[in-house]
Each structure stands twice: as structure tokens, then as C-alpha cells.
Amino acid sequence: MWIKWRIKVQRRSLSPYINVTPLVDVVLVLLIIFMVLTPKMLEKFQVKLPAVFHPDPKAKMSYEPVCVIITADGYYYIKEQIYPTLEALEDKLRQVRQETPNRRLTLKADASLEFGKIRPVLQKAKLLGFKGTGLVVGHKHKHKEQG
């Protein structure tokens, strides 16, 4: 009889108990990590954009523009594809222009670049016949009106 009672006590004390607190902690930490890392992963190329004071709110485009990125080290990118020379970039822009003639061109250039590095791309876009070429700039946070 003593043995039967002892077995019953042991079975009752082994009831399953799931502690979800560590699971919730791990999930919250992973959520925070992904919230911090996702914006960094979306911008693959680090380009510091120049600032603009008065952007044009009326600018609208019918097609999504071709975005040419010029990094600080002078490489050209279109949709994560690298073009090491201006001639290679020109060939790609010519191909894009033939496929969609009404498409516009936007240019993201690092703020540390001199205009002499950006100007040839603008000239090639004009020669190829792009309807409009725009420079992508960042917003300047603290602006004092001069006057």
C-alpha cells in the first residue's frame, strides 16, 4: 500500500508545465534585431545624398524612372548591377531607352563627389534622349532662411 501511494504522488507531481516567458523573451529580441537590421539590408549601397531646401511637390512621372547610383568610389549601379565604366553604363542606358522611350532617369550621387564626376552621366542621358533627368537629394533638417 505504501508503494501504491508513493507512485500516485510521483505521477501527480510530474504534471507538464510549459514556461513561455523565455520563448516570449527570445521572440521579442529577434523582433528588435530584425527591426534594426531590415532598413540596413534594404539600402545595399551607402550613398550620402546632398540636401535640398525646396523640393518640387508637383513632379510626377508616368513610368518608374531608371535610377543610376554613383558611389563615392566612382562606380555606377542600376538595380544592384555594377557598371565600372561610363561606356558600360551608356550601353545599358541605351538599351533601357530603346525598351521604354518615355522613361525618365534619376541620379543618386554621393555628396562627396565633385560635379565633374556626375556631369558626364547627365550629358549621356541627354544625348540618349531621356525626357527628364532628376537628381535625388536628401532633406536638410536645420535650415535658416537667408535674407
pLDDT tens, 111-137? 888 888 899 999 999 999 887 788 887
pLDDT tens, 61-77? 456 888 999 998 889 99
- Cα–Cα distance, 2 to 5 (Å, whole number): 5
Query: Domain residues of the chain, as ranges?
Result: 51-139
Instruction: At 112, list the grid cell.
Output: 562627396
For 51-139, CATH gives 3.30.420.270
pTM of the model as a whole? 0.56
